[in-house]
Amino acid sequence: MEKNGGCLCGAVRFVASNVPSTFGICHCPSCRRWTGSALFEVSVKTGDVEWTGAEHIATRNTSDWAERAWCRECGTNLYFRHTKPDKWFGGTDLPLGIFDDPDGFTLTHEIFVDHTPSGLHLQDDGQKRLTRDDVLAINPDLAGDT
């Protein structure tokens, strides 16, 4: 499916193709600080996202293996991306909230569930739930930065 979205002020827009109908949630400390709660994200192939207003996108390497981006004008978080070849390299995680129409997605997984703040509990609808240790078993390159 194709989905559109953008930042709060409209300076940055995107069109994403081949968007899955699923999303995940990351509760790691870095994502919590970046979003203020947890990152509700839709993972798409980096090459399947076309940006307009790219001159308004700021990026920062937030670890040895990933970068985060935001709009320079309004501060909207735009994406999280692995920059080091690893298990998840080649994908861009778009926050669910920046899609023009965030409907039609199904929650399928949560990661770093052992880092979820005690007051934030989601209904368990059978989605896969991974602890920090589970995530590091899949991708050991993430150790030390999460």
Q: pLDDT tens digit string along 86-105?
A: 777 889 999 999 999 999 99
pLDDT tens readout for residues 57-70: 999 998 888 999 99
In this prediction, residues 25-31 reach a mean pLDDT of 93
pTM > 0.85:
no
The Cα 50–Cα 112 span in angstroms is 29
- The pLDDT assigned to 24 comes to 95
The number of folded domains in the chain is: 1
What 3-state DSSP class applies to 34?
Answer: helix
Q: Are 3 and 23 in contact (CB under 8 A)?
A: no
CATH of the domain at 123: 2.170.150.70
Q: When comparing pLDDT for 30 and 130, which is higher?
A: 30
Range of the domain at 86: 3-142
For residue 146, the model assigns a pLDDT of: 54
